[in-house]
Structure 1
Amino acid sequence: MNPVPKTLGLDFGVRRIGVAVSQSSLVEPLVTLINSPQVMDQILALCGQHGIRQIVVGVSEGISARRTHDFITKLKSVTQLPIFTTDETLSTKEARAKLKEAGRRIKPGEPVDHYAAALILESWLVDL
C-alpha cells in the first residue's frame, strides 16, 4: 500500500474556512481562515508551506452544498492539485463535542473550524 501524500483538509463556511493537514494518517488542525477575497491565496500559500499534494473539502447536503461546490470550482481554477470531497455533516458540532470531552473550554464565538477540518480529513483517510 502506498503512503497517502500530504493532504490539506478544508471545512468550508460562508464566514470561515477551517484548515487541517495530514502526513500519512496523522492529522493536525492548522488554522481557521476568514473567508475573504484573499482566501484562495492563503490556501495556496499553506499548500506550498506544508508540501501539500492533494486537497479534501468537506461537503454537506442542503443549502450550503451549493456554496461549497462553488468554492470547489473556484479552488480548481487556481490549483492543479487533486481535490476530493467527503461528507462533513455535523463536523463542527462533533468538533465542539470532542473538545469539550477533552476538557477544553470553548468560548462563545471561538472558531473550531480547523478542528472540524481535522475531523473531515480523518474521516476521509479512514474511508480510503
Structure 2
Amino acid sequence: MRIMGLDFGSKTIGVAVSDALFLTAQGIKTIRRSPREIEELGELLKEYEVSEIVIGYPKNMNGTLGPRCALTDEFVDRLRAEFGLPVERWDERLSTVAAQRALLEADVSRGKRKQVIDKMAAVFILQGYLDRRHAKNIPN
C-alpha cells in the first residue's frame, strides 16, 4: 500500500506517491483538469495500490481560508465519495515556491519547469506529510 499526494490546481493536478515503506515521495505525473480527471486518478490509485490520499490545502499566508480552500474541499468530497479512501488536507503554503526553487537549483529550463512544477509541488506536499508521520511514529 502507498499514499498518494495531490497538488490540486485550477488547470492541473500534480500527482506523487510514496514508496511502500512511507518514507519517500516520488512524482508520478501531472493530470490536466478535465471531465476525465477522476477516472485518471482512479487508474493511478489502482496501479499504485493507494490506501490514503493527501491533498495540498491552499491556506492564505496569514492562515485564513480563501476561495481556493472551498474548491479543494469540494474536490476532497468528490474523492472520498468516488474512492472511499481517507483524504487528508495538508497545509501547502510555499510548496510551489519550494518546488520552483528546487528546479531552479537543478538548472531545469523554464519550459521544462512549467511541465513539472505541479508534480514537484505534489512531491513536497506528500514528503511533508510522510515526514510528519515518521516523526510521530505513526504505524504503516
Superposed pair shares fold, TM > 0.5: yes
Give the structure with the larger helix fraction. 2
Which of 47, 50, 53 is the aligned partner of 2:48?
Answer: 50
In structure 2, what is the Cα distance between the partners aligned to 1:40 and 1:83? 14
Percent identity of paired positions between Structure 1 and Structure 2:
31
Alignment of 1:51-70 (within 5 A): 51-61=49-59, 62-70=66-74
- Look up the match of 2:31: 33
User: Runs in 1 of length 4+ with deviation above 4 angstroms?
Assistant: none
Q: TM-score, normalised by structure 2?
A: 0.83
Contact 2:24 2:130 in 1 (8 A): no
Q: 2:137 corresponds to which residue?
A: none
Alignment match, 1:122: 127
TM-score, normalised by the number of residues in structure 1: 0.90
Q: Counterpart amino acid of 1:112?
A: I
Deviation at 1:106, TM superposition (A): 2.8
Aligned-CA RMSD value: 1.3
Gaps of 5+ in 1: none
Which of 97, 101, 104 aligns to 1:97? It is 101
Distance 1:16 1:63 in 2: 17
